[in-house]
Amino acid sequence: AQRVTQPEKLLSVFKGAPVELKCNYSYSGSPELFWYVQYSRQRLQLLLRHISRESIKGFTADLNKGETSFHLKKPFAQEEDSAMYYCALLIQGAQKLVFGQGTRLTINP
Amino acid sequence: ETGVTQTPRHLVMGMTNKKSLKCEQHLGHNAMYWYKQSAKKPLELMFVYNFKEQTENNSVPSRFSPECPNSSHLFLHLHTLQPEDSALYLCASSPGLAGVHEQFFGPGTRLTVL
């Protein structure tokens, strides 16, 4: 089955601390994964994609096929990182995204 | 207005009502999507349109009826809904299905079915 699991509904860390949002997937094909973010009173938007291996707003995510994971990391959290984060898996052929349930990240001052 | 717009932003309807949600994108995209976001479930894809043609119906009940008259507009017609259909309905667009990973979302319509 094609599935994306974000085990933490809520995550709270202090400003300046490292943050890691977990994402695990189940997919028989070659995975392409993405992180979407929704800041307060803003729309859901693409944050980063694994295939471009980029760092956006200090966040990085590495695809680990052995562990079927795509965790989102940032070494030093900032208050403006508080948001809802969704991990998404591209279903090849069908050309659609399957989203995880989301993790609400709160950065405490 | 730029981006993806949705109207109305909030809608309350009875189970016997008929209403429609509207989505419009000003990005020149060719693919448009309807998603349902409810509190207890992940974001669920409902319908996909590519160049006005429906390419995906994710086992959505027939009380939800989509319409895509052109690549810029997408409607979701609602009739005889159930209280469990109360949710946030999001519209999104992408350049095409090849760019499905980079979807641009609207603000959503918060639907309450009484």
Predicted pLDDT at B74 = 97
* pLDDT above 80: residue A53: no
**Optimal mutation site among B101, B102, B103, B110, interface A, most CBs of chain A within 10 A:** B101
Per the rule left: phi > 0, alpha: psi between -120 and 50, beta: everything else, B3 is left
Predicted pLDDT at B67 = 96
Predicted pLDDT at B1 = 57
Among B64, B60, B5, B8, smallest CA distance to B32 is for B5
Residue B23 contacts residue B74 (beta carbons within 8 Å):
yes
**Contact across the interface for A43 and B103, Cβ inside 8 Å:** no
Which of A34, A43, A96 is opposite residue B48, by nearest beta carbon?
A96
B100 touches chain A (CB under 8 A): yes
A96 touches chain B (CB under 8 A): yes
Which of A4, A45, A90 is opposite residue B101, by nearest beta carbon?
A90
In Å, how far from its chain's centre is CA B73? 10
Q: With pLDDT > 70 as the criterion, what percentage of chain B qualifies? A: 99
The per-residue pLDDT of chain A, averaged, comes to 93
**Contact across the interface for B42 and A102, Cβ inside 8 Å:** yes
Predicted pLDDT at A52 = 77
Residue B37 contacts residue B23 (beta carbons within 8 Å):
no
In Å, how far from its chain's centre is CA A52? 14
How do residues A57-75 score in pLDDT, each as one tens digit? 999 998 999 999 999 999 9
Tell me: cis bond preceding A109? Omega within 30 of 0 counts.
no
Residue B66 contacts residue B56 (beta carbons within 8 Å):
no
CA distance B104 to chain A (A): 6
Cα A109 from Cα B59, distance rounded (Å): 44
Predicted pLDDT at B93 = 95
- The ranges of chain B with pLDDT < 50 are none
**Within 13 Å of residue A52, how many CA atoms lie on the same side as its CB?**
13
Predicted pLDDT at A55 = 85
Helix %, strand %, coil % of chain B (to 5): 5, 55, 40
* pLDDT above 80: residue A49: yes
